[in-house]
Amino acid sequence: MLFSGVIFDFNGTLFWDTKLHNKAWDIFLTRHDLFLSDEDKFNKMHGKNNKDIFLSLFDESLTDTQIQKYILEKEGLYQELCLQTDMLMAPGAEEFLNYLKDHHIPFTIATASGKENLDFYFDHLPLSRWFEYDKVVYNNGKIKGKPDPQIYQIAMSVINKKPEEVIIFEDAVAGLQAARNADAGKIIVVDSNDDDYTDWSDCQIIKSFNEVDKSQLKY
Protein backbone atom coordinates (compact mmCIF):
# COMPACT_ATOMS: atom_id res chain seq x y z
CA MET A 1 0.00 0.00 0.00
CA LEU A 2 1.17 3.51 -0.83
CA PHE A 3 0.84 6.59 1.40
CA SER A 4 0.67 10.22 0.32
CA GLY A 5 0.91 12.15 3.60
CA VAL A 6 3.14 12.11 6.69
CA ILE A 7 2.55 13.34 10.24
CA PHE A 8 5.27 13.53 12.85
CA ASP A 9 5.07 13.66 16.59
CA PHE A 10 7.89 15.91 17.71
CA ASN A 11 9.39 15.18 21.13
CA GLY A 12 11.23 11.87 21.08
CA THR A 13 10.45 11.56 17.37
CA LEU A 14 11.95 14.39 15.31
CA PHE A 15 13.85 15.77 18.31
CA TRP A 16 15.29 13.15 20.66
CA ASP A 17 14.84 14.95 23.94
CA THR A 18 13.27 12.30 26.17
CA LYS A 19 16.20 12.21 28.59
CA LEU A 20 16.10 16.01 28.85
CA HIS A 21 12.39 15.97 29.62
CA ASN A 22 12.95 13.22 32.19
CA LYS A 23 15.75 15.21 33.85
CA ALA A 24 13.60 18.36 33.91
CA TRP A 25 10.76 16.37 35.42
CA ASP A 26 13.09 14.92 38.05
CA ILE A 27 14.17 18.42 39.10
CA PHE A 28 10.57 19.63 39.14
CA LEU A 29 9.27 16.59 41.04
CA THR A 30 12.06 16.85 43.65
CA ARG A 31 11.18 20.49 44.23
CA HIS A 32 7.60 19.44 44.92
CA ASP A 33 8.40 16.30 46.98
CA LEU A 34 7.17 13.93 44.28
CA PHE A 35 8.79 10.96 42.50
CA LEU A 36 8.22 9.00 39.29
CA SER A 37 10.50 6.39 37.74
CA ASP A 38 11.52 6.70 34.08
CA GLU A 39 9.16 3.79 33.38
CA ASP A 40 6.34 5.74 35.02
CA LYS A 41 7.20 8.75 32.89
CA PHE A 42 7.17 6.63 29.71
CA ASN A 43 3.83 5.01 30.52
CA LYS A 44 2.00 7.86 32.23
CA MET A 45 3.47 11.14 30.97
CA HIS A 46 5.21 10.98 27.60
CA GLY A 47 3.08 12.29 24.77
CA LYS A 48 0.42 13.77 27.03
CA ASN A 49 -0.60 17.40 27.49
CA ASN A 50 0.98 19.18 30.44
CA LYS A 51 -2.41 20.07 31.89
CA ASP A 52 -3.43 16.41 32.05
CA ILE A 53 -0.07 15.50 33.59
CA PHE A 54 -0.24 18.11 36.33
CA LEU A 55 -3.83 17.23 37.20
CA SER A 56 -2.75 13.61 37.65
CA LEU A 57 0.37 14.53 39.64
CA PHE A 58 -1.23 16.68 42.31
CA ASP A 59 -3.99 15.28 44.48
CA GLU A 60 -5.83 18.55 44.45
CA SER A 61 -7.97 20.68 42.17
CA LEU A 62 -5.60 23.00 40.35
CA THR A 63 -6.69 26.31 38.88
CA ASP A 64 -5.69 27.24 35.35
CA THR A 65 -3.33 29.82 36.84
CA GLN A 66 -1.60 27.20 39.00
CA ILE A 67 -1.31 24.82 36.05
CA GLN A 68 0.24 27.52 33.86
CA LYS A 69 2.72 28.36 36.63
CA TYR A 70 3.79 24.71 36.85
CA ILE A 71 4.04 24.44 33.06
CA LEU A 72 6.33 27.45 32.81
CA GLU A 73 8.46 26.18 35.70
CA LYS A 74 8.96 22.70 34.25
CA GLU A 75 9.41 23.82 30.63
CA GLY A 76 11.83 26.52 31.73
CA LEU A 77 13.98 23.81 33.31
CA TYR A 78 13.69 21.71 30.16
CA GLN A 79 14.67 24.57 27.84
CA GLU A 80 17.74 25.35 29.97
CA LEU A 81 18.81 21.73 29.61
CA CYS A 82 18.22 21.80 25.86
CA LEU A 83 20.47 24.83 25.45
CA GLN A 84 23.29 22.92 27.14
CA THR A 85 23.23 20.43 24.22
CA ASP A 86 23.89 20.72 20.48
CA MET A 87 20.11 20.46 19.82
CA LEU A 88 20.31 18.17 16.82
CA MET A 89 17.43 16.71 14.85
CA ALA A 90 16.85 12.94 15.01
CA PRO A 91 19.15 10.66 13.00
CA GLY A 92 18.19 10.80 9.33
CA ALA A 93 15.40 13.31 9.96
CA GLU A 94 16.82 16.15 7.88
CA GLU A 95 17.43 13.91 4.88
CA PHE A 96 13.93 12.44 5.14
CA LEU A 97 12.31 15.86 5.47
CA ASN A 98 14.26 17.05 2.45
CA TYR A 99 12.93 14.07 0.49
CA LEU A 100 9.33 14.83 1.45
CA LYS A 101 9.74 18.49 0.56
CA ASP A 102 11.52 17.81 -2.73
CA HIS A 103 8.80 15.36 -3.79
CA HIS A 104 5.94 17.60 -2.66
CA ILE A 105 4.57 15.03 -0.21
CA PRO A 106 2.38 16.86 2.37
CA PHE A 107 3.60 16.61 5.96
CA THR A 108 3.27 18.37 9.30
CA ILE A 109 3.86 18.03 13.05
CA ALA A 110 1.26 17.09 15.66
CA THR A 111 2.75 17.63 19.11
CA ALA A 112 1.57 17.70 22.71
CA SER A 113 4.02 20.55 23.29
CA GLY A 114 2.59 23.94 24.14
CA LYS A 115 3.31 27.25 22.45
CA GLU A 116 6.12 28.04 24.89
CA ASN A 117 8.10 25.06 23.56
CA LEU A 118 6.98 25.36 19.94
CA ASP A 119 8.34 28.91 19.81
CA PHE A 120 11.55 27.67 21.44
CA TYR A 121 11.98 24.93 18.81
CA PHE A 122 11.45 27.31 15.90
CA ASP A 123 14.02 29.66 17.46
CA HIS A 124 16.70 27.02 18.06
CA LEU A 125 16.13 24.32 15.44
CA PRO A 126 16.02 24.69 11.63
CA LEU A 127 12.32 23.79 11.50
CA SER A 128 11.36 26.66 9.21
CA ARG A 129 13.31 24.91 6.43
CA TRP A 130 10.50 22.36 6.24
CA PHE A 131 7.54 23.45 8.35
CA GLU A 132 5.16 26.39 8.32
CA TYR A 133 4.56 27.45 11.92
CA ASP A 134 0.86 28.07 11.31
CA LYS A 135 0.37 24.53 10.03
CA VAL A 136 1.90 22.81 13.04
CA VAL A 137 -0.75 21.28 15.31
CA TYR A 138 0.18 21.76 18.96
CA ASN A 139 -1.37 21.86 22.42
CA ASN A 140 -3.25 25.15 22.30
CA GLY A 141 -5.34 24.36 25.36
CA LYS A 142 -8.34 23.37 23.27
CA ILE A 143 -7.23 20.11 21.67
CA LYS A 144 -7.84 16.91 23.63
CA GLY A 145 -4.68 15.23 24.82
CA LYS A 146 -3.32 11.99 23.41
CA PRO A 147 -4.44 9.14 23.37
CA ASP A 148 -7.50 10.96 22.06
CA PRO A 149 -7.13 11.00 18.26
CA GLN A 150 -8.19 14.64 17.83
CA ILE A 151 -4.69 16.08 17.38
CA TYR A 152 -3.94 13.63 14.57
CA GLN A 153 -7.34 14.11 12.99
CA ILE A 154 -6.71 17.86 12.86
CA ALA A 155 -3.23 17.26 11.40
CA MET A 156 -4.77 15.05 8.71
CA SER A 157 -7.11 17.86 7.75
CA VAL A 158 -4.17 20.31 7.69
CA ILE A 159 -2.39 18.23 5.04
CA ASN A 160 -5.74 17.40 3.37
CA LYS A 161 -5.36 13.64 3.66
CA LYS A 162 -7.66 10.79 4.67
CA PRO A 163 -6.51 8.58 7.58
CA GLU A 164 -5.70 5.62 5.35
CA GLU A 165 -3.37 7.80 3.25
CA VAL A 166 -1.18 8.85 6.17
CA ILE A 167 1.93 7.52 7.91
CA ILE A 168 2.33 8.69 11.51
CA PHE A 169 5.70 8.62 13.30
CA GLU A 170 5.48 8.39 17.10
CA ASP A 171 7.49 7.34 20.13
CA ALA A 172 5.14 7.64 23.13
CA VAL A 173 2.52 5.07 24.12
CA ALA A 174 -0.20 7.73 24.41
CA GLY A 175 0.74 9.05 20.97
CA LEU A 176 0.81 5.59 19.40
CA GLN A 177 -2.65 4.95 20.81
CA ALA A 178 -3.81 8.30 19.43
CA ALA A 179 -2.44 7.38 15.99
CA ARG A 180 -4.25 4.04 16.13
CA ASN A 181 -7.45 5.72 17.32
CA ALA A 182 -7.17 8.11 14.36
CA ASP A 183 -7.10 5.07 12.01
CA ALA A 184 -3.77 6.04 10.47
CA GLY A 185 -2.89 3.99 7.42
CA LYS A 186 0.50 3.15 8.89
CA ILE A 187 2.20 3.78 12.22
CA ILE A 188 5.98 3.76 12.54
CA VAL A 189 7.47 3.64 16.03
CA VAL A 190 10.55 5.79 16.60
CA ASP A 191 12.62 4.13 19.32
CA SER A 192 14.64 7.10 20.49
CA ASN A 193 15.13 6.02 24.10
CA ASP A 194 15.38 2.21 24.07
CA ASP A 195 11.88 1.89 25.50
CA ASP A 196 9.68 -1.21 25.64
CA TYR A 197 7.47 -1.49 22.55
CA THR A 198 6.44 -5.12 23.04
CA ASP A 199 2.78 -4.17 22.60
CA TRP A 200 3.58 -2.48 19.27
CA SER A 201 5.45 -5.32 17.58
CA ASP A 202 2.97 -5.18 14.69
CA CYS A 203 4.41 -1.77 13.76
CA GLN A 204 7.76 -1.04 12.15
CA ILE A 205 10.22 0.19 14.77
CA ILE A 206 13.08 2.45 13.65
CA LYS A 207 16.10 4.11 15.22
CA SER A 208 16.84 6.33 12.23
CA PHE A 209 14.70 7.93 9.55
CA ASN A 210 17.17 6.45 7.07
CA GLU A 211 15.41 3.13 7.75
CA VAL A 212 12.13 4.36 6.25
CA ASP A 213 11.24 2.68 2.97
CA LYS A 214 10.58 5.64 0.68
CA SER A 215 9.03 3.39 -1.98
CA GLN A 216 5.85 3.29 0.12
CA LEU A 217 5.38 7.02 -0.45
CA LYS A 218 3.60 8.23 -3.56
CA TYR A 219 3.85 11.68 -5.08
Q: Mean pLDDT over residues 154-177, rounded?
A: 97
Question: CA dist 30 to 39, 63, 132, 149, Å?
Answer: 17, 22, 37, 32
| Residue range 186-215: mean pLDDT, rounded | 96
d(CA 186, CA 219): 17
Mean pLDDT of all residues in 27-31: 94
Give me the domains of the chain, ranges plus CATH numbers: 5-16+88-216 (3.40.50.1000), 18-82 (1.10.150)
- Per-residue pLDDT for 99 more than 70? yes
Q: At what angle do helices 64-82 and 18-31 cross, to 10 degrees?
A: 130
Mean pLDDT of 52-65: 84
Structure confidence at residue 50 (pLDDT): 85
The top-scoring range by mean pLDDT among 21-25, 160-164, 195-199 is: 160-164
For residue 23, pLDDT beyond 90: yes
Res. 209: pLDDT tops 90: yes
For residue 130, the model assigns a pLDDT of: 98
pLDDT tens-digit series, residues 151-165: 999 999 999 999 999
Percent of the chain with pLDDT over 90: 82
| Residue 48, pLDDT score | 80
Residue 28 banded pLDDT, cuts 50, 70, 90: very high
Percent of the chain with pLDDT over 70: 99
Q: What is Dmax (Cα atoms) for the chain?
A: 52
For strand 5-8 and strand 107-114, is the pairing parallel, antiparallel, or unpaired?
Answer: parallel
Task: Tell me the per-residue pLDDT of 139-150, one tens digit each, with 9 for 90 and over.
Answer: 998 999 999 999
Q: What's the confidence (pLDDT) of residue 41?
A: 80
Q: How far apart are CA 74 and CA 79, in angstroms?
A: 9
pLDDT (0 to 100) of residue 59: 67
pLDDT at 39: 83
What global pTM score does this model have?
0.91
Tens digit of each residue's pLDDT (9 = 90 or more) over 105-134: 999 999 999 999 999 999 999 999 999 999
pLDDT band at 42 (very low <50, low <70, confident <90, very high): confident
